[in-house]
A and B are shown apart, each in its own frame.
Chain A
């Protein structure tokens, strides 16, 4: 495999505004893709996995600029001198940006670039125009780049053969085909301009197992034949495991882990990856896996949690992961209950006052002792992870003041062997 970067994305962002009211102006955004760095090498198949709503599809569409970005830079096979500049984080001049960054390119030049990448959509039942013949569907990209009809249809015939469909399918409508055949047509359309890079947005999730196997085999063949680079977006981990070389795991708009296939299945580092891989049902009754069951649901991407986005559901979350006082209210009520912990005596929580994200005050009806509260917090830490976020407490009669640790955002870091992880467990930061 050639070790050459084809696609480099830096600080990619896509925020969708939520419009309410008459003015349609808003400061509320769904942070679908939130500060993502991505590198895809030539001839590589990258699998992008994650739960629903984590921004997989948005990232895929951003990489071929199907949607307008909110920030960041994207380069498509830049020349070596520009590549070096990007790698060493130097600022590019305006002219270089205009020439090489897909997000800053002039539209005429971008149109030329569009020949080099294409996409296959998820649902083959809705991504093909029901009123067009198959030959016109596949030839549409060709026509838009000025091919002549005769050449275009000859090319269509060739393409249909490549994806394993007989030539007479040219004169059929999409509704006459089955799901697997439609997906083949969609793949033929994506290949029509012989692109270098293809985004496959859940190409098999609408298909049955046996049809899925056909499509996966076809993709494997095509990849070898045309030396394609592919981004394979899916939530089906067994499929990704079969087809891709490198796997990226996304959670709430960020890439949390990225490694070669064998490595990530052998030794997942991020707690989210561990939970995700362990919860895949394996079609083999004798294989018994220790399931890691995640508690709760994915938080809203409108207001992602502080620090590490995964910390509210993490089994190992600790001091710098970004607990805030809001998350502490329920656990404190639970833990400082004199029925749960009789050491509290007759003190009961009267009022909880959140000052800001890192400071809060708790008022009791009777005086409490600092030592007792500290020992309870120490005792309950293992079960209630949010208590790890407490930096210091001070008791003054009935009043308990709590200060939290400052959150630190985890950054993707290479831990060797092209294994990138964004987790404080792997790269522990200094705790102030």
Chain B
């Protein structure tokens, strides 16, 4: 595993304003995700798992709450305040008299921030949402929803795909097909390094990865890949312009009718890529699925479409917010199998949020345990499951029914989750903790490394 970090969350505090008072949903969350790693984030309902992911994505509604403190660093950008030249905040808390708190926001500055973040969302950070029923738009076809992120973010890559497919000469192409079919890794690597040939190589590889075709059918499809309509001079000019200007249209947008004609090529290519994405998530009748509406698909199928959508632009960080909670165990097994498989193929970091410890044991490399807006323990999977240090983690693990606990009673953590409007002072777990000490009621514990890579926020250590 590479020790470079992908995203760093530092002392993140998120407050929501309600008529009952200010809900301190996150109270100083600190963690990092490394490259090519899956971090599992577990916790009970209302502990702030989803709020963490929403604040990374800048998706907290400005009418409800905001990040009040802390930073999220992703590729040298602070996602909590991405516009450096913006002097005033767009959403802020206003403290009035008698302890009244109001949430204010400046619409113009908020829109400015969202416009900036739109370039990152879906391109570099993508998210799989919890309920595929509600996350997909019911009035748009799957094809439209799947091609939307492609057309929005990577017109130049789509243009590259077309050009590299059409411009290649025969000898080179048959060499590439041969390399893919016979899995010559060093040759594939050298082709992937060439920016002009890389898109074509990826297309060929996507056919190679399909599980439903025989070798003969694969080679036939690969050879047919170039049977496109030839480009006319306008289209070629348009595509070359896109590639040169990194996806921006400098010339053609002035002529709407011509633009509409040449833009069709991009849409067709996006559909082609969408079909490859559906093949990637093991949907093989992709051309039919693209023309269907979300309600025509089953739950597992919808979740696959959601995953395909998130993977559309090869994101560097994938946030999966309870992707299997709404599904049955058998479908869940299908999806987890798929995600493990994809992790090796696309090589991105994953933040996997769930409340099911069984799923975490299956998929994560490291685990972070959250309680009432704090991360209480973070460490490698085996350490968390076999050597849990924080009393909450210990209690949580003991309260799951397993084959060991068949005859005896289940362990119970006494009490219930605290109200986050008036959370307990000091350690937020101390009213339920069996080892609570005097200091726990006064001071908030800090994260301490007790073993290599294993951090605990508890005064016991």
Binding site for B on A (CB under 8 A): 51-52, 178, 180, 208-214, 216-217, 220, 235, 237-239, 241-243, 265, 275-276, 278-287, 291, 293-294, 297-298, 337, 339-340, 342
Residue of A285, A294, A298 touching B381 (CB-CB under 8 A): A285
Q: Which residue of B lies closest to A181 (CB)?
A: B416
- Between A and B, 14 residue pairs with Cβ closer than 8 Å are A178-B416, A209-B44, A213-B400, A213-B401, A213-B411, A217-B410, A238-B402, A265-B403, A282-B402, A285-B361, A285-B381, A286-B382, A337-B217, A339-B216
Q: A209-B400, A283-B402, A284-B402 are in contact. List 9 more A-B contacts (CB 8 A).
A: A178-B417, A210-B396, A210-B399, A210-B412, A238-B400, A242-B405, A281-B361, A297-B301, A339-B216
Q: How far is the CA of A214 from the CA of B358 in the complex (A)?
A: 19
Give A381 Cβ to nearest chain B Cβ, in Å: 16
Give B120 Cβ to nearest chain A Cβ, in Å: 32
In contact, B381 and A340 (Cβ under 8 angstroms): no
Residue of B45, B329, B385 touching A279 (CB-CB under 8 A): B329
What sequence of 0s and 1s flags, for each residue 289-321 of chain B, a beta carbon within 8 Å of any chain A beta carbon?
000000000111100000000000000000000
Residue of B337, B410, B416 touching A242 (CB-CB under 8 A): B410
In contact, B401 and A238 (Cβ under 8 angstroms): yes
Chain B residues lying within 8 Å of A51, measured Cβ to Cβ, are 328-331
Q: How far is the CA of A284 from the CA of B331 in the complex (A)?
A: 20
Q: Which residue of A lies closest to B406 (CB)?
A: A242
Q: Which residue of A lies closest to B220 (CB)?
A: A339
Residue of B333, B397, B401 touching A291 (CB-CB under 8 A): B333
Residue of B329, B362, B403 touching A241 (CB-CB under 8 A): B403
Contact A280 to B329, CB < 8 A, known contacts A209-B399, A339-B220: yes
Residue of A180, A220, A281, A340 touching B362 (CB-CB under 8 A): A281
The count of chain B contact residues (Cβ–Cβ below 8 Å) is: 47
Q: Is the interface of B mostly helix, strand, loop or mixed?
A: helix
Chain B residues lying within 8 Å of A220, measured Cβ to Cβ, are 409
Q: How far is the CA of A237 from the CA of B358 in the complex (A)?
A: 12
Contacting A at CB under 8 A, from B348-400, are 355-362, 381-382, 385, 395-397, 399-400
Binding site for A on B (CB under 8 A): 44-45, 214, 216-217, 220, 298-301, 328-334, 336-337, 355-362, 381-382, 385, 395-397, 399-403, 405-406, 409-413, 416-417
In contact, B358 and A280 (Cβ under 8 angstroms): yes
Chain B residues lying within 8 Å of A235, measured Cβ to Cβ, are 328-329
Contact A276 to B355, CB < 8 A, known contacts A210-B399, A211-B416, A294-B334: no
Give A274 Cβ to nearest chain B Cβ, in Å: 11
Chain A residues lying within 8 Å of B403, measured Cβ to Cβ, are 241, 265
Give B132 Cβ to nearest chain A Cβ, in Å: 14
Contact A340 to B356, CB < 8 A, known contacts A281-B361, A284-B361, A285-B382: no
Chain A residues lying within 8 Å of B417, measured Cβ to Cβ, are 178, 208
Residue of A208, A281, A282 touching B332 (CB-CB under 8 A): A281
Chain A residues lying within 8 Å of B400, measured Cβ to Cβ, are 209, 213, 238, 283
Chain A residues lying within 8 Å of B395, measured Cβ to Cβ, are 210
Chain A residues lying within 8 Å of B332, measured Cβ to Cβ, are 279, 281
Chain A residues lying within 8 Å of B220, measured Cβ to Cβ, are 339
Chain A residues lying within 8 Å of B416, measured Cβ to Cβ, are 178, 180, 211
Q: Which residue of A lies closest to B401 (CB)?
A: A242
Q: How far is the CA of A298 from the CA of B327 in the complex (A)?
A: 12
Q: Which residue of A lies closest to B43 (CB)?
A: A208
Chain B residues lying within 8 Å of A282, measured Cβ to Cβ, are 358, 361, 402
In contact, A208 and B329 (Cβ under 8 angstroms): no
Chain A residues lying within 8 Å of B333, measured Cβ to Cβ, are 278-279, 281, 291, 293-294
Give A345 Cβ to nearest chain B Cβ, in Å: 15
